Amino acid sequence: MILIVWAHPYPQHSRANRALLEAVRVLPDVEVRSLYDLYPDFDIDIEAEQEALSRASLVVWMHPMYWYSVPGMLKHWFDVVLARGWAYPDRHGGGGTALHGKSCLWVTTTGGTEEAFTAEGRHGHSFETFVTPIEQTARFCGMQWLPPMSLHGAHLVDDAAIALVRDDLVARLKSWSQNGKQSHAE
């Protein structure tokens, strides 16, 4: 199963993320957890989240970039769901293997354009600079980090540019699901 953990605080105002979500949520083997819909009061059901993660072979974190990172709800989700003794070992080195062997795909959209994510640009650093904390979060939990996907200049790009990323994402998830099924059948 592919689990999409979706964090957009204002889905009704979303253009880019919504286009991506609508295309992938109908795919076979895909389950979507829309965190802001599920937990309007930020009271995350940790057990339900961990149970969904346990069933997934691929975990997708999908959201708009907020302050060079994830929206507050997804950060809170990291804090409480990726718990010590479950997602990483406890004080005595026990447990913490629940996510081992799973893969993680980060899909994010940014207001900043590709030019803005340069030393001379508005954001002062390459986009890759901001990947590191997310990547290390996944790796710390023993997940395999897949090449991330990003859509820059989300307000400025035309529909065709969004469609390109959307189609790429759909192709990657379909291929994952087919390969997963093949290896399961072997």
In the complex, which residues of this chain contact ligand FMN (CB under 6 A)?
8, 14-18, 64-68, 109-112, 154
Q: Which of 103, 115, 97 is nearest to 173 (CA)?
A: 103
The smaller minimum CB distance to ligand FMN, of residues 103 and 110, is found at: 110
Residue pair 74/121 in contact (Cβ under 8 Å)? The answer is no
In angstroms, give the least distance from the CB of 186 to ligand FMN.
38
The smaller minimum CB distance to ligand FMN, of residues 14 and 177, is found at: 14
Q: Which of 169, 177, 175 is nearest to 22 (CA)?
A: 169
Q: Which of 152, 68, 65 is nearest to 113 (CA)?
A: 152
The smaller minimum CB distance to ligand FMN, of residues 28 and 124, is found at: 124
In angstroms, give the least distance from the CB of 118 to ligand FMN.
12
Residue pair 43/88 in contact (Cβ under 8 Å)? The answer is no
In angstroms, give the least distance from the CB of 98 to ligand FMN.
30
